[in-house]
Structure 1
């Protein structure tokens, strides 16, 4: 859902390129209108590259026998050192939950595995290495049950898919937390600012207890 929402907001851009693990219906309007023309790519310029496609019949019909679209093995598309060769890579991924230091769980709810790790770490790493590249973890502030996705600590048993040092930006409907180059207390303050308002006080208490004066001295 989040990738398609992002794609739906890119109609005013020009000369975008697509190098992805998974193609969905959201790319169709951008490909058909020429917004995605792959003209600025260093890896296979002029060609859309993906490893898999998941969508409607319209997507598959569009893909059929296209010379400007190539499906590669996932080991090829997700190689971070190949991803980094493209300039200004914008890598956008989602998460199940994020803790106050920036650790990202994306494959489990507590001890219950719900997914493989996929290409998140590959694209976060490759995007961070790309010249002018940026990486994003995009999440709603709460789950459908109203539970905060930004937590003081990851749930017991939750796996870390992307480590804290790899995360640059965490985005919710309340803004962007810029984490790169920040210490743990600064990361906590930035993440609390984009958490749901109903849990910010609780998160601030947890951060103050964990980081002490280094957190308290930061301006809210």
Structure 2
């Protein structure tokens, strides 16, 4: 009982601090960045796998996986940086490298496995059933992310969750109503995600 009386003032102070904080805006439902297909291009990341086809040179065509340092090694070329490039950009770089051995090489890079750069992954932390990092996909939504992490734990404060996002170099926070979305099926609580978003799900104290 004595410990309860000692903790009560601390709980009151915490609740007062939370209530005095300015309310955060709700996460935007739609994002022009992703709804315009010309503005988002997939960038290669460590762990991605790809097929490299060199026209009329099957002996140097191959399948590779991007190393943790972001580089790949292919026949005749070593340590080519692949991370944070589009497949087309990497193809042009390989053409330049192969040009020392093959006359006018024509290279096509086809992605066969997707992970993406760490900076573009969606991270779900806190009271998710399976907290993890997810590969970003165009038009990915909160609902997609929550399905991937298995929903909320029994102790989650889903409607108290926060989405952290970098906008024009500045970190911004938005409220998201995960309980309404998952348990009540309120589709108005869904929101489109952007590369690099972090979803923080707190524990419910009551």
Q: Which has the higher helix share?
A: 1
Q: TM-score, normalised by structure 1?
A: 0.25
Q: Which has the higher strand share?
A: 2
Structure 1 or 2, whichever has the larger Rg, is 2
Q: TM-score, normalised by structure 2?
A: 0.26
